[in-house]
Each structure stands twice: as C-alpha cells, then as structure tokens.
Structure 1
Amino acid sequence: MTILMMRAPMPYDQRLWQRASWLWPDALHAAGRHRAHLIVSTMGSSENNADAKALGFAESTQLTTAVVGAVLEALPDSVAVVWRGNVGRSPEMWLEQSRCAFDPFPDQPFGLWMEIVPFRSGKTVGAHTVGLSAFMGREIEFEVDGLDQRAVTARVAQLSSYLIATGLDASIKNGAVFEADAEIDHRVAVLHRNSRFNIGPVISFSSVPDRFGRVRTYPIIPASIARNHPLLVMLGKVGLFDPARTENQIRLKPDHYHSEVRLESFDEGLSQALSGMIATDTYAEADTNARRALASGDIASARSILQPWAEEVGLLQAAAKLALTLCDAFMFMPAPPRSP
C-alpha cells in the first residue's frame, strides 16, 4: 500500500458533495473544513516484487477499504473520505462499514464504493448509480413504475451488491425480462445501453408495458423529409416507403426530454444519409428507368428497379431505431435528472 500526504485541499467538486449529502447531511460543511488530504492506493505492490501476485480490482478495493479504516482510527480528526473521486463518506460511516471490507456478498460494504442518485421522470421515481462502473463497466439506471423512493433505493442497492459480487457477465443478461413479484406488479425489462444522463454505459431496468401512459410513438423519418426528399418521394410512388408504417415508428418517453421538438442535427443526419444513397451513377440510371416505367404505367417494373434503395432505407430506419433505443442518438434534447 502507498499513502501520500498532500498539504493542500482536494479540488472542490460540488456534485460529489451534493450527492454525499443525501446520506450525510454535513458533507458540504466537511468539504469546506479540510486543509490537506491523504492519498491511499495499492500502487506498486507487484511491480517491485516479482514473486508478489498482482491484486485484482475486487481485492484491491477490499484492501484499500480496510487500510483507509485503519488510517481513520489513527487520525481521528479526519473529516471525510472520498472514494475514487466520486463518492464522499463520513469518517464514522467508513470506520463502521470498513470492518466488513473482506466480508462476502451480501455483507460487503458496497455503500462505501458507490452512490445511488434518485431522480423523477413524470410520475415515476427512479435512480442511477455513480461508481458501480468501476466494478463491472456499467452503472445502473433503474426506472420502474409504481415504486416510491425508498423502494427504488433498496432495489438498486440490492442489484448493485449482487453485481459487484457476481459481475455483469455471470448475472443479469441484456434483453432479460423479470416477472412481477410481491413489490412490482408487472414485468421489468433489462437493456444494456448508454445513459440518457451522459454517465456512460448503463444496465437499464424499465417497466414492461407502459404503466402510466408515458410512452408515445414518433416517426423516425419525419413527414417533412418524407414529403421532400427525392428518394423517398420516388419510393412512395411505387409503394416502397410510407412514413406511417411500423418500421418507421419508435416509442419514446416524452418525460425523458426537454421538449418534443426534434433536434435539427438528428434530422439533418437522416437527410444526409438518404442523399448519400442517391449520389451515385447507379441510382441516377435507376431513377431514370423507374420514371420511364411509371410514365408507361408499369409500376411493378419501377418497384423492382427501386427495391435495392428501399432496402437501404430500411437499414437506415433500423439503425436509427437501435441508436435511439440505446441512447447512442437522440431525436429530442435529453432532460437532466430531476430530484424527486
């Protein structure tokens, strides 16, 4: 273990101490009081000793947690502990829980290593984690209808403890659906995606089906593009594109966004992709032949000529739907988390 003395305060992080204050009301005051800090890490243990076994992340976490507890006992005037730069805890909480640093699931002190941040979307109270990704590469984003803040926090705590112990690959699979239980009277879907709160990859838990009328259906390619883009106009003439079809629809929750005003960047991206499909000599020839066939009343031939481009549009719609579902792209401006 390495312990470094830094004779200066830590850089102040308002969000860190605000999150900490949900469990520890004096967190902001403690942050303002400190004048120096120690850095405790496992740096260099196996690098300097060929016979030493390198610690895994879980082992390093347990050891560091216990050592920090010992440091607090030796330095009773310490005012706070900051874990990995994003979790703040009181010395009293750390001293008490660090005694269980090496305990197995479900008794490991995971509450020292991560935060659970509650939020509200419409009528639904949810929560996301901060710090869990250090263990499994993803945070949790939990947004299940019908639970109060206490129940949501308890669920996320249980899931976090379990995932820290078992790892993501060995436990909750992408696409899994949990059946109703004594507390949740409906199914809950699991999806591995990016966070709509810009906290990186998450494992998402959400209600199936829509419980509170929160979901609305939107066109992926809007009518404004469908009416005016030359490729879609041609495909529409031969029955190969209709913006009202299911493949052009996506179900989203308006309360996840600032408004239902479409982002220009999203629609411009669609238009550019469509224009790229026709910016070739091959399409120019196909367009001419299709128009000639239409002029003679041969819709079937025109349809056959344009079929490859209809398939390209279908791939674009599917890719956009997947990106919107995984929060890799946004049709509307995402809203920040709101306090419950």
Structure 2
Amino acid sequence: MTIFLIPEPVPFDQRLWERASSLWPEAFHAAGRHRAHLVVAAMDPAKSNAETKALGFAERTPLTTAFVGAVLAAMPGVVAVIWGGKVGRSPEMWLEQSSRAFEAYPDQPFGLWMDIVPFRSGETVGAYTLGLSAFAGREIEFEVDGLDERTVTGRVAQLSAFLIAADPDTSFKNGEVFKPDSEIDHRVAVLHRKSRFNLGPVISFSSLDDRAGRNKTYPIIPPSIAANHPLLIMLAKVGHFDSAHPRNKIGLKPDHYLSEVRLESFDEGLTQALSRMIATDAYAEADISARSALARGDTATAKSVLQPWADEVGQLQGAVMLALMLRDLHMFAPAPHRSP
C-alpha cells in the first residue's frame, strides 16, 4: 500500500458533501475544516517481479478499506474519508465498518463504497446509486410505486450488496420480472438501460403494472407527420398505416419529463428516416404503380406493391420504441431528479 500526503484541500464538490450529509449531518463542516489530504492506494507489483500477479479491483477494495481504517485509528485528526472521489464518509463510520472489510455477502461494508440517493417522480419515491458501477458495471435506478423512502432505501441497499458480491452472469437479467411480495403488491420489471440522471448504464427496477396511474400513451409517429409525409399518406390509403394503431403507441411517465412538448430533434429524426425510405428509384416506381392501381380501384395490388415500405416503417416504429424504453432516445426533455 502507498500513502501520499498532499498539503492542500481536496477540490470542493458540493454534491458529494450533500449526499454525505444525508448520513452524516456534519459533513459540510468537516469539508470546510480540512487543509490537507492523504491519498491511499494499492501498488502494482514491480515490473521486474513477473511472478507476482497484480491485484484486481475486487481484491484492492477490501484491502484498501481495511488499510484506511488502520490509518484512521493511528491518526485521530482525520476529519473525513472520500472513497473513489464520489462518496464521503465520517471517520467514525469508516472505523466502525471497515473492520468488516473482508467479510462475505451480505456483511461486507458496501455502505462505505457507494451512495443511495432518493428522488421523487410524481407521488412515487425512488432511489439511485452512485459508486456501484465500479463493482457491477452499472448503477441501480429503483422506481417502484407505493413504497416509502425507508423501504426504497432498504431495497436498494439489499440489491447493491448482492450485486457487489454476485457473479455478473448470475445477476439480474434484462427483461426479468419479479412477482409481488410482502412489501410490493405488484410485478416489478428489470431493464438494462441508460440512466435518467447520469447518462451511464443502469439496472432499472420499475413497476410493470401502472399501480399509481403514472403512465400516459403517446404516438411514436405523431398525426402531424402522418398527415403530411407522402410515404405515410400513401400507406394510409392502402391500409398499411394508422397513427392510432397500438404499434404506433408507447407508454411513458410524464413526471419523467420537463413537459409533454415533443422535442423538435425527435420528430425531425423521424421525418428524415421516413424520407430516406422513399429517396430511391425503387420507391418512385412503386409509388407510380400503386397510384395507378388505386385509380383502377385495385387496392389489393397497391397494398402489395407498397408492402416493403410498410415493413420498413414498422421496423422504424419498433426500433424507436425500444430506444425510448432504453433511453437511447427521448421524445421529451428529461426532468432532473427531485428530492423526496
């Protein structure tokens, strides 16, 4: 292990100390008192010592945790500990929990390594983690209807402890659904997607059944585009497209967004994708054939001629729906989290 003394304060991070103060009310006072800091790290083996294997993250973590505890015991003037540049903890909490640094699940001191941040969406209290991704590759976002903050925090703590200890191959699968239990009276869905708040990957736990009435249905391709785009007009004439069809609908939570005003960039992207479909000689020929068939009253032939483009529009709708669910795309501007 190495210890570096840096004779100046750590750069002030307002959010770090705000999170720390939820468990440690004196956090901001401690942050203002310090004048220097120590950097503690596990060393890699010397290049000349090829037989010694470098420690992995899972091995460094308990070793560093215990070593910092020993430093605190030897230096009572320490005012705070910052783990990984993200998590602030009091010396007292670190001394108490670091003695369990090498304990197995569920007794490992995971509370020293990550934060659980509550938030509110509408009437639902949720929470997300910060620091878990170093262990599990993803953070948690937990947004299940009908639970209070204490229950939510306890659930996220349990899930986090499991993920830190679990083999990634045995972790929560994308698309998995949990049945109701003693605290949650409805099904909970698991999705691997992007964070609502921090852009990184998360394991999302959310209510599969809209228990709180939060979902609202929106058209993927809006009527304004359907009524004006030449491809959709032709497909509608032969019965290949209907903006009111369930395939063109997606359920979203308005409280996830600043407003229900559609993003211009989202609708522009849809329009561009539709226009690329018809910017070919093949479509020009198909359009002429379909119009001729319709003029003769032969709707079946026109429908058959336009089938490949109907399939392409269907693929676009499916891809956009998936991207919205995974948060790779946004129909509306996302709202920041709000504390309970």
Name the TM-score, length of structure 1 as normaliser.
Answer: 0.98
SS of the counterpart of 2:242? coil
Shift of 1:48: 5.2
| Distance in 2 of aligned mates of 1:3 and 1:49 | 22
Deviation track 1:221-259 (CA, whole Å, cap 9, x = no partner) reads 000000001110111111100011111000011111111
Deviation track 1:143-165 (CA, whole Å, cap 9, x = no partner) reads 11111000000000001001101
Give the match for residue 95 of structure 1: 95
| Distance in 1 of aligned mates of 2:237 and 2:191 | 38
| Distance in 2 of aligned mates of 1:199 and 1:99 | 34
> Any conservation in 2 of the 1:4–1:39 contact (CA below 8 Å)?
yes
| Distance in 2 of aligned mates of 1:168 and 1:155 | 19
Give the match for residue 72 of structure 2: 72
CA distance 1:217–1:120, shift in 2 (3 Å):
same
> Any conservation in 1 of the 2:44–2:55 contact (CA below 8 Å)?
no
Give the match for residue 123 of structure 1: 123
Deviation track 1:249-289 (CA, whole Å, cap 9, x = no partner) reads 00011111111111111111101101111111111111111
| Distance in 2 of aligned mates of 1:91 and 1:210 | 43
Give the match for residue 109 of structure 1: 109
Task: Answer yes or no: is 1:302 the counterpart of 2:296.
Answer: no
Give the match for residue 222 of structure 1: 222
Shift of 1:183: 1.1
Shift of 1:142: 0.3
SS of the counterpart of 2:305? helix
Give the match for residue 152 of structure 1: 152
Shift of 1:208: 2.2
Shift of 1:178: 1.0
Superposed CA RMSD in Å reads 1.1
Give the match for residue 212 of structure 1: 212
Give the match for residue 25 of structure 1: 25
> Any conservation in 2 of the 1:128–1:139 contact (CA below 8 Å)?
yes
Matches within 5 A, 1:189-338: 189-338=189-338
Shift of 1:38: 1.1
Whichever residue aligns with residue 278 of structure 2, its letter is I
SS of the counterpart of 1:169? helix
Contiguous gaps of at least 5 residues in structure 2: none
Shift of 1:199: 4.0
Whichever residue aligns with residue 103 of structure 1, its letter is E
| Distance in 1 of aligned mates of 2:46 and 2:160 | 29
My pick for the range that moved more, 45-54 or 305-314, is 45-54
SS of the counterpart of 1:23? coil
Deviation track 1:203-236 (CA, whole Å, cap 9, x = no partner) reads 0111121001100111000000000011101111
> How many aligned residue pairs are there?
340
| Distance in 1 of aligned mates of 2:192 and 2:46 | 35
Shift of 1:295: 1.3
My pick for the range that moved more, 124-133 or 195-204, is 195-204
Whichever residue aligns with residue 90 of structure 1, its letter is S
CA distance 1:112–1:48, shift in 2 (3 Å):
farther
SS of the counterpart of 2:203? strand
Percent identity for Structure 1 against Structure 2: 72
Runs in 1 of length 4+ with deviation above 4 angstroms?
none
Contiguous gaps of at least 5 residues in structure 1: none
Deviation track 1:108-151 (CA, whole Å, cap 9, x = no partner) reads 00000000000001111000000000001100000111110000
Give the match for residue 2 of structure 1: 2
Give the match for residue 182 of structure 1: 182
